[in-house]
Structure 1
Amino acid sequence: MPHTVAALYQFVSLPDAAALQAPLQALCESLGIAGTLLLAEEGINGTVAGSAEAIDAFLAELRGPLLGGRLDNLECKLSTAEAPPFRRLKVKLKPEIVTFDGGRTDPTRGAGETVAPEDWNALMARPNLLLVDTRNAFEVALGTFEGAVDPGTRSFSEFRAYADGLDPAEQPEVALFCTGGIRCEKAGAYLKERGFAHVHLLKGGILKYLKTVPEAESRWRGDCFVFDERVALGHGLEERPEHEPEETR
């Protein structure tokens, strides 16, 4: 039976993040869910897997009583895996839900304009648009959009140095993308703070684009790296077994 995989995140004020760790752990264990969830005062981020029924119940709790309705804007992408994509469950308390600058950048204050996958091709065709892949270099090596700039980062925290080298006067319009949306949302907020007026973000990330846009119309080239045992996904979120998993994962 295929496993349902849920990649989710939301930037939202969670001052009680520490108190939510144990209830989330207990909920996942009761549903037989594996994967990783990160909690911080700036929100929640993670990828988990289980039966379709278990994931439905888990998401209903997240969006409902468990967090008091605070995750009503939860960004979630669903896919499937033939084999269990995770070996265990980890619910961790962190300073940030995606490591960047210690939590100083706040996406809830504005991160840019989200663009639906159906409209992303038209945006990329605009002249003088700077299209930036906010992922790490090893991820970009597996696949990216035509014409995208690879900042060559080894970790997301290095993206700040790349962004600091950009001039809002020379690059008035920037489009950012990442796997599921969380990194480009944080990066977009950082660019907005630095004075970039026109920042665009791919809503739902590469995963939503690959699921939504037909391959014949796609401007994506290659495969999309994912941080689980599947390693990479292609158009339609099909598993790409030709990629070998890292020994450390």
Structure 2
Amino acid sequence: MQLYNRLSKDELKKNLMAETFKRKTISFYRYVNLDEPNEFRDSLYQKWFELNCFGRIYVAREGINAQMSVPEQNLATFLKQLDEMPELKDMPIKYAIEDDGKSFYKLTIKVRPKIVADGLNDNAFDVTNVGNHLSAREFHDLVDIPETLVIDMRNHYESEIGHFKGAICPEADTFREEIEMVVDDLKDQKDRKILLYCTGGIRCEKASAYLKHHGFMDVNQLHGGIIEYAQQIKQLKLDSKFVGKNFVFDQRLGETVNGEVISNCHQCGRRCDTHTNCANDLCHILFIQCNECAEQYDGCCTAECKTVLHAPEEDRLLYIQDFKRKFGNRKSFRKGIDNKLNIDKRELEV
């Protein structure tokens, strides 16, 4: 019985690239009481490992949050298994907007305190008193009405590459920062119609309840998030009011919704919406980089990181000590708005 991955990252990626079948990238979540999350986790791993599923899944006493890659030939069996589990029966499934089948390369299922790291005290407000769920069409029709406030409940590095037209996109690095920022900034507009949206809908469940707890009267949320909106609008043959790219938390890092590029390379300023992690593993910062800068810096965020990347092995210990001195004892740098500012700052420090 296998309950954890036993192969190296290189082996896993090599196996993925050698696959001759297609995969479907899906996501789903549900707030449901799980009395034994560890046992539930192990049961899921056994089932999904046998079906050759990959993905990143979080399980907690409050439910499940999953982003997965399922072999196309096993998808029907996978969905049947979901329906056979009372906790996951009739699960709404969201399918990726763009899908090359290479979104994940291994199966990871972790038991966490929460299925979304929101930093909120759930005992301080009624988490079940959520906002009104809007279909993609209903949300689409309300976006342009002047009386409404459209609020992006994602982090800055997500909204930077794509968002709804006219949306409020807080300059926040975490969900906790953002939700408190929204409550404070809009405290004098609690009678306005609020339209919340996020990637797949899960963050809006908690955000809408939090806003209602703080006195916002007319709180609404996009059911299924950006992923479902993009699919539905395409079927309805309507022009998308979401512009740019939808950030996703897998190897793709983004999927185009309407084809527009609304962001810029953090190094040269050219139009670009391609996120990447710095090739220097001591840094690994997430940032936007165009092809020209990727070539110039060998996939690194600064000339300093490029130097470290190509340094002889005997010099790496010195660089490790230098990085810790400058940036602290961190395995990686934050993903948020500070990144593009830090790139310039660190370039000056070389």
TM-score normalised to structure 2 length: 0.64
Contact 2:245 2:254 in 1 (8 A): yes
- Residues 56, 103 of structure 1: CA spacing in aligned structure 2 closer, same or farther, 3 A cutoff? farther
Q: CA deviation at 1:19?
A: 1.7
2:157 pairs with 138, 153, 160, which one? 138
Show the counterpart of 2:133: 114
**1:217 aligned counterpart, secondary structure:** coil
1:56 to 54, 57, 76: 76
Q: Whose RCO is larger (CA < 8 A, sep 6+)?
A: 1
Aligned residue pair count: 243
Q: Which residue of 1 aligns with 2:88?
A: 71
Q: Which amino acid aligns with 1:122?
A: D
Report which of the two has the higher share of helix.
2
Q: Which residue, 78, 91, 109 being the options, matches 2:109? A: 91
CA gap 1:13/1:229 in 2 versus in 1, 3 angstroms: same
Give the whole-Å Cα distance in 2 for the aligned partners of 1:48 and 1:138.
Answer: 22
Name the structure where strand makes up a greater proportion of residues. 1
1:95-121 residue CA offsets vs partner (Å, 9 max, x unmatched): 110011355167762211111111212
- 8 Å CA contact retained: 1:96, 1:103: no
Q: How far apart, CA to CA, are the structure 2 residues paired with 1:107 and 1:36?
A: 28
Shift of 1:83: 4.2
For residues 44-67 of structure 1, give each alpha carbon's deviation from its aligned partner in whole angstroms, at most 9, with x where no partner exists.
0010102123233223222323xx
Separation (CA, whole Å) in 2 of partners of 1:158 and 1:192: 17
Fraction of identical pairs, as percent: 28
2-structure distance, mates of 1:236, 1:28? 33
What are the ranges of 5 or more consecutive residues in structure 2 without an aligned counterpart?
1-20, 260-271, 279-283, 287-350
Give deviations 1:60-91, integer Å, cap 9, x for gaps.
222323xxx12235332023632421121110
Distance 1:84 1:104 in 2: 36
Contact 1:2 1:81 in 2 (8 A): no
Which stretch of the first structure deviates more once superposed, 52-61 or 116-125?
A: 52-61
What secondary structure is seen at the aligned counterpart in 1 of 2:220? Answer: strand
- Classify the secondary structure of the residue corresponding to 2:176: helix
Q: CA–CA distance in 1 between the matches of 2:132 and 2:77?
A: 31
Runs of 4+ in 1 over 6 A off after TM superposition: none
User: Is contact 1:180–1:204 with CA below 8 Å preserved after alignment?
Assistant: yes
Amino acid at match of 1:140: S
Find the counterpart in structure 2 of residue 222 from structure 1: 244
Determine if the alignment matches structure 1 residue 243 to structure 2 residue 274: yes
Worse-superposed segment, 228-237 or 129-138? 228-237
- 1:161 CA drift (Å): 1.9
Deviations 1:9-28 (A, max 9, x none): 01112222222011111111
Which position in structure 2 is the counterpart of 1:234? 256
Q: Which has the higher mean CA deviation after the structures are superposed, 96-105 or 151-160?
A: 96-105
* Partner Cα separation in structure 2 for residue 55 and residue 236 of structure 1: 28
Matched letter for residue 251 of structure 2: E
Would the aligned equivalents of 2:55 and 2:107 in 1 still touch at CA under 8 Å? yes
Within-5 A mapping of 1:1-249: 1-65=21-85, 69-72=86-89, 74-79=91-96, 81-102=99-120, 104=122, 109-167=128-186, 170-172=189-191, 173-214=193-234, 216-235=238-257, 243-247=274-278, 248=284
Distance, in Å, in 2 between the alignment partners of 1:8 and 1:209 is 15
